[in-house]
Chains A and B, each alone.
Chain A
């Protein structure tokens, strides 16, 4: 009954979810309820199961145990379309189609849904404004864009159908430090403005700090601790939490001289 209540009040809810690849347990009894309009950071190093968790939410993989629901809809093969309608997906480097222009990439979901071209064009212009992309670049092919521009286009495509939830898998992973911190600030503004429910996977503590209202630290497929950055920093649930945060903190001598 408790699980049922959580599913109803959450945009994305996982209850006791497990996934194994062969003998390897990748996601180990994870329960997580993400409230509408909040940004949840799934933080962890490579192999912590954070990307697998995203693929489970999207229904790209079936869980071996437990339930997942998006906006109250249980994630199953039968409800796949219903679930995906509610989620925009952004991955590293954007995963843009090289044979389509940036604009055509963004409007692809609308084209699949049978939108009139004018409506799609209108939405396209509005989205360029939201992510701060110069509209002229929309006629370019992905290969002619910079990494940051490609990432903005990928973001626009995820937002095209205005889904209530956004799922981002290391969206800034491949960017240089400057565009990265620039986009981090921009993303946090966009998330706040649009009021989307966001699940963002990263291994970058700074990114988690800048973007997340709530952080879930994962290790070996398990939730180590969930809370605000403050909670993790001041009231670590395990020595691993402090260890993980410290590993990416610059030494004081370095920050002092900046």
Chain B
């Protein structure tokens, strides 16, 4: 009983211990994520603006994080707290059990993953197939089953749609379709392909703002194959606990408040009217829309400057790391033949991983943002550096190598005075290749929130806005040329005069 006196103190201490971190939690930002298509950007932007107005915690936007695999990884990893998702995707791609359609059941299944969902926001975004109006009237196409009569039509589908059981494979079986020419294409590009006449059928989302713009005909799902994709907010379980007010306001202002036509209109605002996501989101929330079109252009230039700095940092840091690791690895490979072969095989395998997949692998390990992007880019830049260092050092004239031994040069003297200078041309060529390669690969960093020119390309792809894509792609190409030139200069400083390709005057 004596010990009982102590218990209020213990309880108080426990409460403090609990409240301490809780107070710290509130100060940590709420991080809002989105996939890289207009609707996802828009809902995320709306969520972010509501959270800002609620002012319970600072808001960070991590928008355009690729597809479901990437953004879900980021959510589970704690790099983001909330993002818009569709019930169909949750059951199929996340829970991997298409039978889960009931929302309460879905919440129960998400609980062990540390996640939960809001109630439906109102609109559903199901897959659909679309054709040009002229195709539709010429062939009398009204429903998906009409496609059975026309196996000659060419289709371009988003890679996700092409793979998913609730996409093309299931659809084809369900309807008994036999299209002869089906190719995989990034979703944002399929509209161009369709309107230019390169293909005849594409997959679309039912709330797509582009449908009206390109005057497309959506084929009816007359045999009811496509499941319902109701939009919800997918959040970490900690969010409602940590930010109850924000969660409450989000629920109150969004649940059941965005119906299909509203969403299509918002999408069109961005895709067709050239509004920014922020402007369109603000218009939905009833905020002022004072911004005019010129502002978004000025905005582009400011963005360009930021992205240039980000891109150069990505390239410079990852290249520096790759050089710092790659040259010693190459030297090691040249010294230990067996180890060397394994090592070259290892970096070779790294290179065969598509850059985007390598970036995706980073998420569970390092989260999203600049750090995982830098790690992935560094790994990607390794091969040319390791291989050229190995090749340069291991193919040196053996008589020159013997002579260094006979002259009793110490290990580092041999390295610094003989081996590295003699193989500098080959090593520099490897570094140059890696540098130019990295400028290109770094544009993919945007898919995991790494910044750089890729941000413009990803946004442009989502908006189907060629100008924005080029605003990222052209500077990236120019930067590649500049970096090539810079390395030509560095080569002059590093490679000893008599070893340069042009003979000494």
Which A residues form the contact surface with B (CB < 8 A)?
Answer: 58, 60, 81, 84-85, 87, 89, 91, 95, 97-100, 108-109, 111-113, 141-144, 157
Contacts and interface: CB of A to CB of B under 8 A. Distances in A.
A99 B408 contact: no
Contact of B409 (A87, A112, A141): A112
B412 to A, nearest CB: 11
Interface stretch (B97-105, B375-383, B414-422): B414-422
13 contacts: A60-B405, A81-B408, A84-B408, A89-B403, A91-B403, A98-B499, A99-B422, A108-B409, A112-B413, A113-B408, A141-B497, A141-B504, A157-B407
A84 B400 CA distance: 16
Contacts of A108: 407, 409, 417
A157 B406 CA distance: 11
A168 B342 CA distance: 39
Interface in B206-244: none
A98 B422 contact: yes
Contacts of A97: 400, 418, 422
B399 interface: yes
Q: Which 10 A-B pairs have the closest CB atoms?
A: A99-B496, A141-B498, A95-B399, A89-B406, A109-B407, A99-B421, A95-B403, A112-B409, A84-B408, A99-B499
Contacts of A109: 407-408
B292 interface: no
Contacts of B418: 97
B297 interface: no
Contact of B406 (A84, A113, A141): A84
Contacts of B413: 112
A98 B406 contact: no
A48 to B, nearest CB: 20
A48 B406 CA distance: 23
Contacts of A91: 399, 403
A117 to B, nearest CB: 15
B407 A98 contact: no
Contact of A98 (B408, B410, B498): B498
A112 B408 contact: yes
A12 B504 CA distance: 43
A121 B497 CA distance: 22
Nearest to B417: A108
Nearest to A144: B504
Q: Give the interface size class of chain B.
A: 20 to 34
Nearest to B425: A99
Most A CB contacts (10 A, CB to CB) among B399, B402, B403 go to B403
Contacts of A100: 496
Interface in B175-191: none
Nearest to A143: B498
A85 to B, nearest CB: 7
Contacts, number: 53
A111 to B, nearest CB: 8
Given A108-B417, A141-B504, A99 B406 contact: no
A85 B408 CA distance: 8
A245 B407 CA distance: 35
Contacts of A60: 402, 405-406
A109 B422 CA distance: 18
A132 to B, nearest CB: 23
A98 B421 CA distance: 10
A99 B498 contact: yes
Interface string B355-389: 00000000000000000000000000000000000
Contacts of B400: 95, 97
B222 to A, nearest CB: 76
Given A99-B499, A112-B409, A112-B410, 12 more contacts: A81-B408, A84-B406, A91-B399, A97-B422, A99-B421, A99-B497, A108-B407, A108-B417, A112-B408, A113-B408, A141-B497, A141-B498
A111 B413 CA distance: 10
Contacts of B397: 95
A58 B499 contact: no
A95 B422 CA distance: 13
Nearest to A113: B408
Contacts of A98: 422, 498-499
Nearest to B496: A99
A50 to B, nearest CB: 16
B56 to A, nearest CB: 65
B428 to A, nearest CB: 13
Contacts of A144: 504
Most A CB contacts (10 A, CB to CB) among B407, B421, B499 go to B407
Contacts of A58: 406
Contacts of A141: 497-498, 504
Contacts of B422: 97-99
Interface in B417-443: 417-418, 421-422
Nearest to B504: A141
A155 B165 CA distance: 78
A91 B418 CA distance: 18
A111 B410 CA distance: 11
A14 B505 CA distance: 49
A141 B409 CA distance: 21
A80 to B, nearest CB: 8
Interface in B75-117: none
A89 to B, nearest CB: 4
Nearest to B495: A99
A59 to B, nearest CB: 9
Contacts of B402: 60, 95
